[in-house]
Amino acid sequence: MRTTLVPAALVAAFAINSSGCEAPAEPEESRDAALERIGEHTVGLGYADSSINVSVFRESAVLRVGARVMVAYYDPEGFARVDVLDDTLTPTGWFRITPHIEDRLLGDGHCMISMGATPAGDLAMVFGSHAAGSVTYQAMIDAGSLQSPPSGAEIAASVWPHTITYPQFYRLGDTLRLYFRKDAEPGGAAEADLATATWDAGEGVLSPSFDRLLPAGDDASVYMERMAVDGDRAALTWMYRKPTIAQEQPPAVRNEGMYLALTSDGGASWTDRSSNPLELPAPKRAELMAWEVPLEDRPINQTSTAFGPGDLLYDAQLHLDDAGIYQIFVAGLDLATGIAHEDVVSTNGEAFDLAGAGTLVLPLSRPDLAVSADYVHVVYRQHDAIVVASRAHDESEWRTSSYAVADLGAWEPNFDPITWETRRELLLFVQPVRQGAVDQADVGEPSAITLWRFAESAE
């Protein structure tokens, strides 16, 4: 591990693709993590010809709104659908969201669904968005309909007139905000900046305008990680993707990070780690780098962060170890001192590369983080096994549980942040899916969607 410590600031992310694998090495099944699976609940059948239902770029496939739990996915016909579950995770009704996105986009794992809850208890949605030639749809299901949901009612979505990718809703204080990568409009100049828009609860739509936060500048793109959120307080981390080198075929992926910005007023303003205000849009600056993951470590973009006790910020990463093999790491940054420390979590022994284009299936998924007062938990896929790793904040040893799932494919972890925050139960969206090369569908049967329910085990 060759992480270099520097003064803190903004965090980044980078897009990934893989090629070249040796024989799969499944982790041995175990049940030692401090996060224990206590239930499995069937939701329904979902589109499985691509990774759109389990995209790593997706935020909140599962979301608690009051006493109801929402599960959003593309159904076997490719329609966006929201199932409503009661407090026991029993299905009570569902909504189909129209219109249907273009068939050519269904094979693209970037075309996810993002959900967010308004302060009034309404459900906001964005779906079908990815770069040039696509359309960004938005929809709202009001709180009353969620309490007594019909089965099969259609909700008509409207078009949000901006071309974006990787939309992620976050409730910051009393404001619901959408963060996304702003892409080029049809016929317009290239764009790849990080931007945000506010959900207008009164109108039930996104605000017509948006604010640019981080311009890509001379880099190819800006990629954010899943934000750490605690009420009005949030940490935004990101990476810059370096331009590809024309002579490299297939082109290698290079991300530069990690950068950090902080807010304490619900995203209305941002500062660096030293509380110096940032003038937005904030250009790339060395002093905003929280810690350096060297380019030669080939870090993967769009992983996850979470606040720990006190001034601690955790960042789950996927990058090369000293032997040149990809591993899951967790870095802990002391926001008060700027001192960072990184631990390796996984024990992967299989070498693979990140090269090419499109959404491909990696032997290791990106990791996701869930943090409590006592533990930090990491969830990821290693081939066809879901792995949960845990350690206490004041310990160094990771304890793991591994669950084999047949033909898990391109699954990436995604759980409900609200249920974890309010009940310390982790509701994990699980669906085996396929993914064709260069964002094409791998045609086959739909697959079952289940919610796995975890709770911290009593010591």
Is the pLDDT at 30 greater than 80, yes or no? Answer: no
Of residues 302 and 3, the one with the higher pLDDT is 302
Is the pLDDT at 13 greater than 90, yes or no? Answer: no
Number of structural domains (the chain) is 1
Q: What is the model's pLDDT at position 8?
A: 28
Residues paired with residue 63 on neighbouring β-strands, in sequence order: 70
Mean pLDDT confidence for 293-302: 93
Mean pLDDT confidence for 169-179: 96
* Segments forming the whole domain that contains residue 115: 4-456
Give the whole-number percent of the chain exceeding pLDDT 90.
80
Residue owning tokens 């050519």:
104
What is the rounded radius of gyration, in angstroms, for the C-alpha atoms of the chain? 20
CATH number (domain holding residue 106): 2.120.10.10
The DSSP call for residue 227 is P
Token code pair at residue 132: 């040039």
Q: What is the model's pLDDT at position 358?
A: 65
Q: What is the model's pLDDT at position 248?
A: 74
Of residues 251 and 271, the one with the higher pLDDT is 271
Q: What is the model's pLDDT at position 438?
A: 83
Residue pair 140/156 in contact by the 8 Å Cβ criterion? no
Specify the amino acid at residue 128.
G
Per residue in 140-169, pLDDT (tens digit) is 999 999 999 999 999 999 999 999 999 999
Per residue in 62-111, pLDDT (tens digit) is 999 999 999 999 999 999 999 999 999 999 999 999 999 988 889 998 88
Token code pair at residue 199: 């959900």
Q: What is the model's pLDDT at position 21?
A: 36
Mean pLDDT confidence for 294-320: 95
Q: What is the model's pLDDT at position 28?
A: 64
**Cα separation, 246 vs 254, whole angstroms:** 13
pLDDT, mean over the chain = 90
Is the pLDDT at 222 greater than 70, yes or no? Answer: yes
Of residues 328 and 247, the one with the higher pLDDT is 328
Per residue in 56-74, pLDDT (tens digit) is 888 899 999 999 999 999 9
283 pLDDT tier (thresholds 50, 70, 90): very high
Per residue in 375-393, pLDDT (tens digit) is 999 999 999 999 999 999 9
Mean pLDDT confidence for 3-30: 39
Is the pLDDT at 20 greater than 90, yes or no? Answer: no
Mean pLDDT confidence for 205-223: 96
Torsion angle in degrees (nearest 10) through CA of 344, 416, 31, 48: -90
Per residue in 339-351, pLDDT (tens digit) is 999 999 999 999 9
CA separation (Å) from 3 to 132, 286, 290, 319, 410? 36, 16, 11, 11, 28
Residues paired with residue 182 on neighbouring β-strands, in sequence order: 164, 193
Token code pair at residue 97: 């969201």
